[in-house]
Amino acid sequence: MSVQSGALAIAKKEHNFWRQLWRQRQLVVLSLPVLMVIVFSYVPLWGWLVAFFDYKPTSGMNVFKNDFAGFKYFIELFNDSYFWRGLKNSLGIGVLKIIFSYVFSLMLAVMINEVRINWFKRTVQTISYLPHFVSWVVAANLVFVTLSPDSGIVNELLLKLGIIDSPISFMGKPNLFWLIVALTEVWKNSGYSAIVYLSAMTSIDPSLYESADIDGAGRISKIFNITLPSIIPTIKILLVLSIGRLLSVGFEQVYVLKSPSTTETATTLEVYIYDFALKYAQYSKGSAMSIFNSLVSIVLIVGCNLLARRMDGEGIM
Amino acid sequence: MTMRKSIAILIALMMVLAALAGCSSNPTTTPDATKAPAADPAEPGTDDPAEPAAVERDPATFSLLYMSAATTTVDPWADTPVGQYLESKTNVKLEIEYLVGSDVRQKASLLIAGNEYPDILHTADASGDFYAAGAFIPLNDYIENSTNIKNCYTNSQIKQMTQDDGNIYWFGAHASENAAYPTAGYYLNMDLLAQADYPEVKTFDQWQQLIIDYVAANPTFNGQSTIGVSEPTEAWRASAVQYGGSRFLVGFQNDGLTVVDPETLEAKIIMDQDFQKEFCKMLNTMWNLGIADPEMFMQTDEQYQAKIGSGRIAGLYDQRSMISVGLDALEANDPSRMLVAFPVVLEGVTTERYRGPRAFAGGSGIGITITCKNPDRAFQFLDDIASEELQTVLRWGVEGTDFSYGEDGSLVKTEEQWANYNNIEYKQQSGIEQMGWFYFWPGLMPFTGSGTIASPSNTPEFVALAYEDYEKEFLTHYNAETFCDWFNPSYDAMYEPGWSIRQRIDTADPRKIAGETALEITLEYVPKLAQCKTEDFDKVWDEFTGKLADLPLREYEELATQMIKDGASLYQN
């Protein structure tokens, strides 16, 4: 083969490549989101390397300029009692939040579904999901003002009704903090999560209800025997997803609700990473913690999926 | 919980996004500076110092971040006569940004992580962070060749600004002194003092008893309960309860989180000392009597200042400059309940050092960052600012409107101009004393040209004029001229203050981390100590000191002691 024809062949090949690319242009555009996932989810994983080096910010992106530290920061972490406290708080708040938000949003969805007056249904739905769009910063201020021991409305009310003798500092009590986080989460997000369940409920075959009516089933019995079983796949998928996020309990919510009095129960892993590592430029320790965080999440999500499969023979992944 | 904190978090998120989205793109904060041809770096100091206006400067734009929250929405450069005067003389447009929130270290971490700095940066508490990150360009050669700046610092001050690597990265802050009001103290409400027939408040016990008696006699004010004691606890403002209030009780000066023995120069961490226990005990007593602020450990700084402004508070410990917003509001609202500071000590302590030394702090200040496009022009700008003419404008205002030259060349203000100077709103609108970060010339020193003390607030004329009628009336009860009369005067510094030392220690140093971790633990335990039952107090205290004992705090003390001793010779001249 002569040199010339070889070049020609390459040119032709390139030609073909561009032609093919043009023909599949829709597919190319559709694959852009994948690129975004790579850029925003995988490229930052480079930062994990920081956890294995004595990282100094002066070295910039070139992590390898620093001394290799191995698992030093992980060992440091596991010997750190504050880290375990953070883990306990994260798990505590995470579990409470999942339980509360499941129970309340399901309840809300079922109740809205049972309402027959359309305008009332829509009004309730709108009002209940509105808080979702309020920023936590604003919401936290509302919470503080409402629960304030110094002329907050809840304390005033309880005092007037004679239930308590002196104002209770709700936001200053460490043992109430988890509950307050869970309840504020319910207030803010259950309306929004209920939408998913409601949409699942609309796809339930009406003939099921009709035949139940013929069999003489009451409302309660229809809820437990038709509505809830029909949306179990939705419940399951949401549960697995939320368990994967168990340790990411919502940094901004906890951060804006906590105060020096509640440090003991409010320092979740994320807050601990922020207050003890990022704020004092301990990037390596912070990265080690966030790797640990991710590992726990992966274990939980896989475990939960296995459990789901064990229970009725089909997983979701 | 707090608007500002959360805005900071928002900004953090935005910065992370920005960093991800555009590592390559470089937001140009200095569009004009890049266009303008660079000034000749070889001869930065050949211009006539007295008349920067005579020299045509290339137009330039610089950004500046001041690491403290803005006290007004007025932009001191673009919106004020003083700023505009400076702009016309220096031909520089300055884009001033303030810290949002109050967490300096947090902002610093974000800047460092993004590796994108404003052209001119104020370090505040984060000098060590910025130094470790290499955020600043060295200024030694610039200073040597400068026209004005080199005259503003003594040799020992230059030495104090020099870092371990032999370079100067930021201009230190000259000490200032408020001649009308003491810098810190244990405050009491004027109404309380009037009811107690104007006692001389000397001891901590006496201070507490006055508050307890007052709240018992006056349980409510304006329909709300009277607050016996409140303290700030948000972010770094919590330093008042972490270590700030207790050190003065035993006669130490402000040395950050340490106290320094003036004889031996030994530094000791405050948090686990007995006098800190006394301070916490006071909070505990007040809490169990039900007269402490129930929101003390969950309030933002704004809420705290608003409470001060309402006049509900009987007493508190704080530094005056930190609560100026609240005090101004209180003065406008109900001056009869103004707060007055006293140099309170524990029983048996003979001396007090509330007003502290006239120190020079080389540990923090403003510098030019590595991301500044045109550092030569930036330095030329700072050097112009350091001229006597512009230093005068910064502090005294524009000639004609705010002051005039007397026959002997000294700076003179008419009574009306003094009244304006005493009016915080006028000062904010005119830009006078709004740009303290540019004070190269020490405020306590007379200018070489005019011979007048640089800072108007340190002139005798001002102190006499500074007080309102109610204050003058109040002072007659104590036979005093000023509110500083019952404080010991300030003195010459014998060593670098401990707070400046703390700023200089490298952030990655485990001893520094130990110190900062101890502060976080203290912030967790002060509320516990305050809110526990009186009989449990000692138990909680032991638990707290047990936690602190796990940290290498003694090593921090050794390091601080060593640094203080090493630098002490610089304070001899």
Q: Domain residues of chain A, as ranges?
A: 3-65, 75-312
> Percent of chain A at pLDDT above 70?
92
Q: CA nearest B516 in A: which residue?
A: A280
Judged against a pLDDT cut of 80, whether residue B18 lies above it is answered with no
Phi (first) and psi of residue B390, to 5 degrees? -80, -30
Same domain, B270 and B410: no
How many angstroms separate the CA atoms of B154 and B94, rounded? 28
Which two structure tokens, joined as six digits, stand for B331?
A: 């003065």
Mean pLDDT calculated for residue range A76-93: 89
| Chain B positions in Cβ-Cβ contact with residue A150 (cut-off 8 Å) | 224-225, 293-295
Position B418 in a domain = yes
Domain A75-312 belongs to what topology? Answer: MetI-like fold (1.10.3720)
| Inter-chain touch B508–A282, beta carbons under 8 Å | yes
Judged against a pLDDT cut of 80, whether residue A14 lies above it is answered with no
ipTM over 0.85: no
Same domain, B130 and B42: yes
How many Cβ contacts (< 8 angstroms) between chains A and B?
Answer: 107
How many angstroms separate the CA atoms of B125 and A83, rounded? 26
| Chain A positions in Cβ-Cβ contact with residue B516 (cut-off 8 Å) | 280
Q: What pLDDT sits at residue B118?
A: 94
Interface test with A, best of B5, B6, B17, B307 (most A CBs within 10 A): B6
Judged against a pLDDT cut of 80, whether residue B4 lies above it is answered with no
Which of B1, B115, B132 has its CB closest to that of A256? B1
Asked if B543 reaches chain A (Cβ–Cβ under 8 Å), the answer is no
Which of B3, B20, B225 has its CB closest to that of A137? B3
Judged against a pLDDT cut of 50, whether residue B16 lies above it is answered with no
| CATH number of the domain that residue B213 is part of | 3.40.190.10
Helices (DSSP H) in B388-437: which residue ranges? 388-396, 415-421, 424-430
Same domain, B394 and B493: no
| Chain A positions in Cβ-Cβ contact with residue B238 (cut-off 8 Å) | 260
A10 band by pLDDT with thresholds 50, 70 and 90: low
Asked if B513 reaches chain A (Cβ–Cβ under 8 Å), the answer is yes
With a CB cutoff of 8 Å and minimum separation 6, the contacts of B553 are B269, B271, B272, B514, B515, B518
Which of B7, B507, B524 has its CB closest to that of A260? B524
Judged against a pLDDT cut of 80, whether residue B185 lies above it is answered with yes
In chain B, the number of structural domains is 2
Strand ranges in B190-247 using DSSP code E only, listed in sequence order:
220-221, 224-225, 227-229
Asked if B224 reaches chain A (Cβ–Cβ under 8 Å), the answer is yes
| Chain A positions in Cβ-Cβ contact with residue B115 (cut-off 8 Å) | 57, 60
| Chain A positions in Cβ-Cβ contact with residue B1 (cut-off 8 Å) | 140-141, 144, 255-259
Same domain, B303 and B319: yes
| Chain B positions in Cβ-Cβ contact with residue A281 (cut-off 8 Å) | 109, 112, 129, 132, 507-508
Helices (DSSP H) in B289-351: which residue ranges? 301-310, 324-333
Residue B126 CB neighbour total at 10 angstroms: 26
Same domain, B190 and B127: no
Q: What pLDDT sits at residue B69?
A: 84
Q: Which long-range contacts (CB under 8 A, 24 or more apart) does B260-268 make?
A: B260/B495, B260/B498, B260/B560, B260/B564, B262/B494, B265/B495, B265/B561, B265/B564, B265/B565, B265/B568, B266/B557, B266/B561, B267/B498, B267/B501, B267/B557, B267/B560, B267/B561, B267/B564, B268/B557
Which of B1, B134, B531 has its CB closest to that of A140? B1
Same domain, B412 and B297: no
| Chain B positions in Cβ-Cβ contact with residue A169 (cut-off 8 Å) | 294-295, 298
Mean pLDDT calculated for residue range B388-397: 93
Same domain, B388 and B350: no
| Chain B positions in Cβ-Cβ contact with residue A144 (cut-off 8 Å) | 1, 298
Position B450 in a domain = no
Which two structure tokens, joined as six digits, stand for A305?
A: 């999926």
Q: State the nearest Cα–Cα gap between A260 and chain B, in angstroms.
A: 6
| Inter-chain touch A150–B295, beta carbons under 8 Å | yes
Same domain, B340 and B368: no
Q: How many CA atoms lie within 13 A of A242 on its CB side?
A: 20
Mean pLDDT calculated for residue range B236-257: 93
Which two structure tokens, joined as six digits, stand for B410?
A: 């000294």
Higher pLDDT, B431 or B37: B431
Compute the Cα dihedral for B83, B84, B85, B88 and give only its sign: positive
Judged against a pLDDT cut of 90, whether residue B553 lies above it is answered with yes
Give the tens place of pLDDT for each residue, B49-96: 444 444 578 899 999 999 888 888 899 999 999 999 999 999 999 999
Judged against a pLDDT cut of 90, whether residue B463 lies above it is answered with no
Q: CA nearest A149 in B: which residue?
A: B294
Give the tens place of pLDDT for each residue, A177-195: 999 999 999 999 889 889 8
Q: Per DSSP, what are the bridge partners of residue A53?
A: A68
Position B477 in a domain = no
Asked if B450 reaches chain A (Cβ–Cβ under 8 Å), the answer is no
Least confident stretch, B46-55, B398-407, B410-419: B46-55
Q: State the nearest Cα–Cα gap between B128 and chain A, in angstroms.
A: 11
Q: B 110-129 residues with CB below 8 A of A? A: 112-113, 115, 129
Judged against a pLDDT cut of 50, whether residue B48 lies above it is answered with no
Q: What pLDDT sits at residue B71?
A: 81
| Inter-chain touch A58–B3, beta carbons under 8 Å | no
| Inter-chain touch A166–B103, beta carbons under 8 Å | no
Phi (first) and psi of residue B318, to 5 degrees? -170, 175
Q: Is A15 exposed, middle or buried (0-12, 13-18, 19+ CB in 10 A)?
A: exposed
Same domain, B40 and B54: yes
Q: CA nearest A57 in B: which residue?
A: B133
Give the tens place of pLDDT for each residue, A258-284: 988 898 899 998 888 887 777 777 888
Q: What pLDDT sits at residue B179?
A: 79
Interface test with B, best of A65, A80, A150, A251 (most B CBs within 10 A): A150
Same domain, B42 and B128: yes
Q: State the nearest Cα–Cα gap between A154 and chain B, in angstroms.
A: 15
| Inter-chain touch B109–A281, beta carbons under 8 Å | yes
Q: Which residue has the tokens 């500074």?
A: B466
Q: CA nearest A139 in B: which residue?
A: B1
Q: State the nearest Cα–Cα gap between B254 and chain A, in angstroms.
A: 23
Asked if B225 reaches chain A (Cβ–Cβ under 8 Å), the answer is yes
From B366, B362, B370, select the one nearest B382 (Cα to Cα): B366
Q: Would you call A196 helix, strand, or coil by DSSP?
A: helix
Which of B20, B290, B520 has its CB closest to that of A276? B520
Q: Which long-range contacts (CB under 8 A, 24 or more apart) does B205-211 make?
A: B205/B347, B206/B344, B207/B315, B207/B342, B207/B344, B208/B282, B208/B285, B208/B286, B210/B315, B211/B286, B211/B291, B211/B314, B211/B315
Which of B1, B9, B513 has its CB closest to that of A259? B1
Same domain, B430 and B501: no
Q: What pLDDT sits at residue B342?
A: 96
Judged against a pLDDT cut of 60, whether residue B26 lies above it is answered with no
Asked if B520 reaches chain A (Cβ–Cβ under 8 Å), the answer is yes
Q: What pLDDT sits at residue B297?
A: 92
Least confident stretch, A239-248, A294-303, B384-393, B561-570: A239-248
| Chain B positions in Cβ-Cβ contact with residue A140 (cut-off 8 Å) | 1, 6
Asked if B222 reaches chain A (Cβ–Cβ under 8 Å), the answer is no
How many angstroms separate the CA atoms of A100 and A242, rounded? 12
Judged against a pLDDT cut of 90, whether residue B259 lies above it is answered with yes
Q: Per DSSP, what are the bridge partners of residue B173?
A: B361
With a CB cutoff of 8 Å and minimum separation 6, the contacts of B427 are B420, B421, B433, B434
Judged against a pLDDT cut of 80, whether residue A116 lies above it is answered with yes
Interface test with B, best of A169, A261, A267, A290 (most B CBs within 10 A): A261
Which of B20, B133, B512 has its CB closest to that of A58? B133
Phi (first) and psi of residue B228, to 5 degrees? -70, -55
Q: Which residue type is seen at B184?
A: A
Judged against a pLDDT cut of 90, whether residue B459 lies above it is answered with no
> Percent of chain B at pLDDT above 70?
90
- Please, what's the largest Cα pairwise distance for chain A? 102
Residues of A contacting chain B (CB within 8 angstroms): 39-40, 44, 56-58, 60, 135-137, 140-141, 144, 148-151, 166-167, 169, 171-172, 251-252, 255-264, 275-276, 278-283
| Inter-chain touch A151–B224, beta carbons under 8 Å | yes
Q: What is the 3-state secondary structure (H, E, C) of B149-175?
A: HHHHCCHHHHHHHECCCCCECCEEEEC
Domain span at B567: 184-355+484-572
Which two structure tokens, joined as six digits, stand for B471?
A: 């204050």
Mean pLDDT calculated for residue range A233-242: 83
Q: Per DSSP, what are the bridge partners of residue A228?
A: none
| Inter-chain touch A275–B520, beta carbons under 8 Å | yes
Judged against a pLDDT cut of 90, whether residue A308 lies above it is answered with no
Mean pLDDT calculated for residue range B374-386: 94
B403 band by pLDDT with thresholds 50, 70 and 90: very high
| Chain B positions in Cβ-Cβ contact with residue A44 (cut-off 8 Å) | 20
Q: Are B95 and B127 in contact (CB under 8 A)?
A: no
Same domain, B521 and B431: no
